[in-house]
Amino acid sequence: MPGSPPLPPESQRLRALGHPTRIALLQHLASSGPATATECAKYVGASPSSCSWHLRALAKAGWVEALDQRHGRERPWKYVGDPDHVLPSNPHDPVTVAVETALRGQSRAVEDWFRRNRHRFPANIAEMGEFIDAVLWLTPDEVKTLRQAVQDIMASYGRYDPRSRPANAVRVVSSWSAVPWIATEEDSHD
């Protein structure tokens, strides 16, 4: 964006994601569009003043920006990144590991809540909950290819602009992971 200040170093940007409320705020702004701290509070389950404080911290790290000069909780904020951005993965950086763990935990919490509560939804919504697991034999290059294919498919359904969504569309959380199978004593007898 022209005239924008330079972004802080990547480690500082990642460190800003070290709180679950900030991750929830980013997910909400990326999927729903601009919102005030008061509007965000309803989604993330925190107070408007807490959301306002976390949004300012995210702005300092370059994740969000204020849309105008209104003050306090009524200032609208927008996500300024790519909604489909994959965080750089560095298994030796504790900040990156903490952020990945927090994101994964939040996704699992949403999935677990839906599994426990899907009976409360109309059938057409309850049936949308899909959980797929598979054990695959892949090379490192094949994992990269698969990750890119999944990311491309998810991006094609992102519809971050509300005008592009079908009338009956509902927000769906979708996450993907591929991790090496950890061999155990029993696995060695295959």
Written as one string, the DSSP assignment of 40-93 is HHHHHTS-HHHHHHHHHHHHHTTSEEESSS--GGGSEEEE-S-TTPPPP--TT-
Model pLDDT for residues 16-60, shown as the tens digit of each residue: 887 888 888 988 888 788 999 999 999 888 999 999 999 999 999
Helices (H) and strands (E) in the chain, counts: 7, 3
Say what the pLDDT of residue 145 is: 96
pTM attached to this predicted model: 0.60
Query: Which residues are registered as beta bridge partners of 77?
Result: 35, 66
| CA angle (187 as vertex; 182, 190 as ends), nearest 5 | 140
Of 65 and 97, the one with more pLDDT: 65
| Distance from the Cα of residue 40 to its chain's centroid | 15
Query: Greater confidence, 145 or 2?
Result: 145
Q: Are strands 64-66 and 35-36 parallel, antiparallel or unpaired?
A: unpaired
Residue pair 154/185 in contact by the 8 Å Cβ criterion: no
Given a cut of 70, whether residue 68 has pLDDT beyond it is yes
> What amino acid occupies position 40?
C
Of residues 44, 102, 101, 100, the one with CA closest to residue 77:
44
